[in-house]
Amino acid sequence: MDASTQTISAALLDWYDAHARVLPWRSAPGAPPPDPYRVWLSEVMLQQTTVAAVGPYFDKFTRAWPTVEALAAADEGEVMAAWAGLGYYARARNLIACARAVAARGGTFPDTEAALRELPGLGAYTAAAVAAIAFDRAATVVDANVERVVARLHAIEEPLPAARKPIRARAEELTPPRRAGDFAQAMMDLGATVCTSRAPRCLLCPLAQWCAGRRVGAERFPVKPPKKAKPQRRGQAFWIERAGQVWLVRRAGRGMLGGMLALPDDGWSARGDGAELPPLDGPWQHLGTVRHGFTHFDLDLQLMLYSGSDLARFAPNDGEWWDIARLDQAGLPTLFAKAAGLALAQRDETGESG
């Protein structure tokens, strides 16, 4: 590190010592690193999710499975149900696979970035974060907050995603050989609380005097390409009820919302509209439409109620009847929780009990 980068890094660490967020998966600035299991779990949960949303899930997971060995031994369905609502469900499947891989190593996480990368589901960011925060390795951690801070600090004009290469190079220059974990968390905290995407609080920023972006308008950075319109998909979900129970299916392990309990549907996907027939012939009533946004497409999901009285012919190969009174324990993904909420609202209005 040259003199200028050392000065910037030192200023940021001084700020972090005084202003670090208190989070359940962290150690205080300068304290010994936290349990690698808690660091890894939190970092997986925090991918594309806010700290506020993750807090209750982290507490629930660590109460149910306080060690990586406990998580490795957990029932996969229970883990997926506990994850419901956090989104990006491939993370939950990778979480289970990684926990089992670590348990097979005797419950000990590897302590280098390269070795962490060999675990299931750990990409460059998560491996660097665990190496830096849990083991104080001099790994460079670049999430969206760090990306924003560095792009503004150096006024990087190149648009994303091409800008990620120079942003990473600059972040590597700034990462100190000691207290790398605190430095990574300091960058994250600065981006989350001061160098925010809108209305950055530049007067409170410990790096303001070195910030090239501030002089030309910090909110310009990082430069983003024009947004592409997301495809609009359409599908149907089917509500089949009898005697206070609703029929649920377990989605395939891979693909959208994989491994989750859900209402049966017509096979919609990110690539196209649904086209499969309902699970059984008979009268169907349209209850309404649920709208939901995924990362790469938007979905209008029509909810169809089976309004016939004869379910004797209904004998699918898989699935289960689930008590409606405890439907909140099924761990439905957000889309199907919305659909179930719509069905239950209609049910309450009509006074039907199934």
Instruction: Report, as residue numbers or ranges, the catalytic residues.
Output: 43
Beta bridge partners of 223: none
The answer to whether the beta carbons of residues 118 and 135 sit under 8 Å apart is: no
Q: Could you say which DSSP state residue 235 is in? A: E
The C-alpha angle with vertex 343 and arms to 339 and 344, in degrees rounded to 5, equals 115
Amino acid identity at 35: D
Task: State the Cα–Cα distance between residues 323 and 316, nearest whole angstrom.
Answer: 18
Q: How far is it, in rounded angstroms, from Cα 269 to Cα 267?
A: 6
Q: What whole-number distance in Å separates Cα of residue 291 and Cα of residue 257?
A: 16
List the structure tokens of 43: 């970092």
The rounded distance, in Å, linking the Cα atoms of 308 and 331 is 27
Residue 133: is it exposed, middle or buried by C-beta count within 10 angstroms (0-12/13-18/19+)?
buried
Return the bridge partners of 290, or none.
301
Round the CA-based radius of gyration of the chain to a whole number and report it. 24
Spatial distance between the Cα atoms of 44 and 38, rounded to a whole number of angstroms: 10
Start-to-end CA span in the chain (Å): 69
The DSSP output letter for 208 is: G
Give φ, ψ of 75 to 5 degrees. -65, 130
